[in-house]
Chains A and B, each alone.
Chain A
Amino acid sequence: MGLLQNRVAVVTGGGRGIGRAVALLMARHGARVLVNDTGTGLDGDGVDRSPADQVVQEIQAAGGVAAPSYHSVSSVEGGEKIVQDALNHFHTVDILVAAAGILRDRTVFDTTEEDWNALVGVHLKGTFSVVRAAARAMRGKAYGRIVTFTSAAGLYGTFGQAAYGAVKDGVAGFARVVARDLGRFGITVNCVAPRAETRMTASVPDDIMRQRQEVLGVPQPTPTSDGYPPEAVAHLVAFLCTDTAGDINGQLFYVAGGVVSLLSHPAVTRTVRKPSGGRWSVEELAVAFPLTLGVGLANPAPPRESP
């Protein structure tokens, strides 16, 4: 018996990368899977039914049950249609994995309004839209598993991903709230910061990739011969969707190849109070800050001499 026997899973972005690996794995473990993917380019342009279709075919060829869905996640209506597709095919929804995503690497200087809207639309609204629709379907049956995706760019900040970092940290905050909205209905909502070799990471130069991972503060594994396959992420995601994981709610995980970490949420670690109480003055802060909170605080991008 598979660990997800008879469950119905909706996987957005299920046509490629991490979503694809999740869809295939869940089907192998007995879930019936709605594979949602618009089949867009990495930057969100264009549509193509074949990524979703191919994953459905792969699942069926292996004896599993799956159906395709091509609606875009990036509107509330799209989210509703995707969940309706699952209800039409499989009559219920137990699991939602919101893996649809696009990438546009630009600094804040170069990010256009169009870039901003596209990233906010797919990642943030596209997570909200399917979570909202799935929550409506899950609430009545007092069971549900939801997994969303954040990124090191959002949690720590990198260079050249201002809008992407904004939306990915936005997803982490959204998941924290929604875990509290939905927990009492027996629904869990968790958030995963993955590292996986997909077209998304293939688009990023190696040295930038390395720099970005270094900020993580997670002990990095020496890559095994497998590197960082999306399958490693899929196994953690699938685990979070099992009955066993029913009490894991509102948590943040990091997964990269053979490393899985439970991450803390942002937390205040050091505080300073004005010794005499009352309101600080700027001059008092100028004296107190370097001796207290400022100790060991490094500028992540110190000023460079102008050329």
Chain B
Amino acid sequence: MGNTLQGKVAIVTGAGRGIGRGVALKLADEGAWVLVNDLGVAVDGTGADRMAADLVVGEIRERNGAAIASYANVASMQAGQGMTDAVLQEWGRLDIVVCVAGILRDRMVYNLSEKDWDDVLNVHLKGTFSLVKSAATVFRQQRSGRIITFSSESGLLGNPGQAAYGAAKSGICGFTKNVAREVGPYGVTANCIVPRAYTRMLQGVPPEAHLFLERLHIQGLPFDPASPEAQAWHPDDVAPFVAFLSSDYAANINGCTFLVYGDTIGLFQDPRPLSTIYKGEGFFTLEELAAIVPGTLGRGLANPAPAQVSK
């Protein structure tokens, strides 16, 4: 129990399970009053169950915290406005929004249906936009506020079989960087979290994606979900950093993307030039590029998925 968020009001979407649940409990433990949003769906977004949000609200109240439930589907503009209005009505203010709600539908791009695409994009990207837009308007007025969104290594590094999810999660990262530059002048910050946590969502990731992550050996850690390391990536480990970003300590941390898991926090660097070729006059022609690139920009580039068929 701490008091770093005493007197603040937070909205956490997808707060009924997994990472969002940990965030809601932590923010409440630090003194914040929390709107716990969750539609209570399966990993693929189907179904609905009020129990998901209700249980977390119950847990917070048991710990003498203040919480209310929202069962809204985040994927509409009305949802963001509705949650914002609800906390303003209940508690008269809003200080923190954390957009965690998410679903997963893994398909190779050529088998991905329009419905799967729309559903994934709507929950993640539009769901984030919806709440951030309504909250940003309040934050601009009161000249303070915290926006925290959730991206994924799937989008930032590329996981096979996750075209819609990767597009949405990378989009959230780009969105947050832009929003940071728009809300910053009003004393508001917007940052993006790339989590790793052993939740039901990770258990659904297809084996080829695990293999891919394994090959990456990020930080030298294997990514076998059965490994002790993966088991150790508890969803609640993400919450303290979210609470830190929500606190007054983090007033000047803005526009960043953080990797968060276990006892580790990492800072993402935006894309930067690895190598550059220049031409003083005009521009490189196709023939010139065909001659120059293999020995310069293209040198040593590894194909992440080399052809497996004879041409």
Stretch binding the partner chain, chosen from B55-63, B89-97, B282-290: B282-290
CB distance from B148 to the nearest CB of A (A): 14
CB distance from B137 to the nearest CB of A (A): 6
Does the CB pair A128–B109 fall under 8 Å? yes
| Chain B residues with CB under 8 A of A247 | 298, 301, 303, 306
CB distance from B237 to the nearest CB of A (A): 5
- Proximity bits, A107-147, B CB within 8 Å = 1, else 0: 11101010010001000110010011001100100110000
Does the CB pair B286–A270 fall under 8 Å? no
Known contacts A116-B126, A173-B166, A183-B305, A218 near B276 by CB under 8 Å: yes
| Chain A residues with CB under 8 A of B277 | 259-261
Interface-centre pick from B2, B271, B305, B307 (highest chain A CB count, 10 A): B271
Does the CB pair B158–A250 fall under 8 Å? yes
Does the CB pair B170–A232 fall under 8 Å? no
- Proximity bits, A90-111, B CB within 8 Å = 1, else 0: 0000000000000000011101
Interface SS of A by simple majority: mixed
The A/B interface has a contact count, at CB < 8 Å, of: 411
Does the CB pair B289–A280 fall under 8 Å? no
Stretch binding the partner chain, chosen from A33-41, A56-64, A293-301: A293-301
| Chain A residues with CB under 8 A of B247 | 282, 286
How far is B109's CA from A27's CA once the two chains are assembled, in angstroms?
28
* A266 on the B face (CB < 8 A): yes
Known contacts A157-B255, A258-B284, A265-B157, A235 near B289 by CB under 8 Å: yes
- Proximity bits, B128-160, A CB within 8 Å = 1, else 0: 010011001100100100000000001111111
Stretch binding the partner chain, chosen from B11-19, B33-41, B46-54, B174-182: B174-182
Does the CB pair A238–B286 fall under 8 Å? yes
Interface-centre pick from A136, A180, A254 (highest chain B CB count, 10 A): A180
Does the CB pair A165–B259 fall under 8 Å? no
Does the CB pair B268–A108 fall under 8 Å? no
Does the CB pair B272–A170 fall under 8 Å? no
- Chain B, interface residues (CB within 8 Å), range: 35 or more
* B252 on the A face (CB < 8 A): yes
* B226 on the A face (CB < 8 A): no
**Chain A residue with the shortest CB-CB distance to B306:** A183
Does the CB pair A249–B305 fall under 8 Å? yes
* A88 on the B face (CB < 8 A): no
Does the CB pair B270–A261 fall under 8 Å? no
Interface residues of B in 108-134 (CB under 8 A from A): 108-110, 112-114, 117-118, 121, 125-126, 129, 132-133
Does the CB pair B170–A139 fall under 8 Å? no
Does the CB pair B304–A184 fall under 8 Å? no
| Contact surface of A with B, Cβ cutoff 8 Å | 3, 25, 29, 75-76, 107-109, 111, 113, 116, 120, 124-125, 128, 131-132, 135-136, 139, 142-143, 153-174, 176-186, 188, 217-219, 221, 224-226, 229, 231-232, 235-236, 238-239, 242, 244-254, 257-274, 277-283, 285-286, 289, 293-294, 297, 299-304, 306
4 nearest A-B residue pairs (beta carbon): A173-B170, A169-B174, A301-B184, A183-B305
| Contact surface of B with A, Cβ cutoff 8 Å | 2, 4, 30, 77, 108-110, 112-114, 117-118, 121, 125-126, 129, 132-133, 136-137, 140, 143, 154-187, 189, 212, 218-219, 234, 236-237, 240-241, 243-244, 247, 249-250, 252-259, 263-290, 293-294, 297-298, 301, 303-311
> In the complex, given contacts A245-B298, A281-B2, what are 20 additional A-B residue pairs having Cβ atoms less than 8 angstroms apart?
A3-B287, A25-B286, A76-B113, A158-B178, A166-B178, A169-B174, A179-B158, A179-B305, A235-B285, A260-B284, A263-B274, A265-B156, A266-B271, A268-B259, A269-B266, A269-B268, A285-B241, A289-B253, A300-B255, A303-B186
